[in-house]
Chains A and B, each alone.
Chain A
Amino acid sequence: MSLRIMSHTSRSAVAAKRRTHALVFAALGDATRLSLVAKLCRGQPRSISQLTQGSKLTRQAITKHLRVLESAGIVQSVRQGRESRFEFDPEPMDGIKEYVDFVSEQWDHTLSRLKSFVEG
């Protein structure tokens, strides 16, 4: 329970998370990419052709934007036959894993306090 919040998350972990978040926000800070996310968050994986339809942009430009979203972990591509389909990945972080990693990190801090306590 409680020790999870007992000590501060290490600075490097926080910095790494900030970098990830910065990447996500940067990826979303573009009208075209935001509209792609809007299309994809309805759940159906779409091909590049489908995503290009109705857009003034070329297939190439759309692909470039999709790659940016993909590298930020917001969408992922799935190979279907000869073409790639893109789908929205609403959780760039795996909830349970993140949580267990966090508790695990808290134990590191708590056990190091125990260590100084018994060795001191």
Chain B
Amino acid sequence: MMNSVIEKRIELKAPVSRVWRALTDYREFGEWFRVKLDGPFVPGQMSRGRITYPGYEHVKWEAVVQKMEHERLFSFTWPHPKSLDKVDYTLDYSGEPTTLVEFRLAKTASGTLLVLTESGFDKLPGDRRLEAFRRNDGGWTEQMKNVEDYVSKYVSENHVAHKP
């Protein structure tokens, strides 16, 4: 599926070693990503923490570090919880579908080329996608549901009204 992989390429005017540190030092990562991590990234281990982005401080960070190939590749898998809305957010991510995030670095004349990929969206179940979409575009799916309810009510009334 074409649309189930995200790829971003970005030129950074900083040496590979600088970018590597920003990605893999857990404190530096937390700065730009806006998460407070409990400890260093270790391949094969779970990284835990708390989101620091305003309004989402109730959300916990969980990711399993996959690869740390020095100044070349940093990757982790992370879950896509059903909802991050304060109301129906749950702390239990077990059983949630995960995607793989990879950061690849390459030296260029002016600094570093960073290629980010996130893959595995095709594993997300249909309801998850819709739920995520609802979260994305607050209220629209809700509105669609209202219209649907209205329409189906209309159908049944209409149906009754036309019965001989």
Contacts and interface: CB of A to CB of B under 8 A. Distances in A.
Contact of B6 (A2, A6, A21, A104): A104
A23 interface: no
Interface residues of A, number: 41
Interface residues of B, number: 54
A110 to B, nearest CB: 6
Contact of A113 (B33, B84, B133): B33
19 contacts: A1-B61, A1-B62, A1-B79, A2-B53, A2-B78, A4-B136, A34-B151, A35-B158, A96-B4, A100-B121, A103-B121, A107-B6, A110-B33, A113-B33, A114-B19, A114-B22, A114-B32, A118-B18, A119-B14
Contact of A102 (B10, B59, B133, B162): B133
B121 A2 contact: no
Interface string A84-120: 0000001001011111101110011011011111110
B132 interface: yes
Interface string B28-66: 100111110000000000000001010010010111000
A71 interface: no
B132 A102 contact: yes
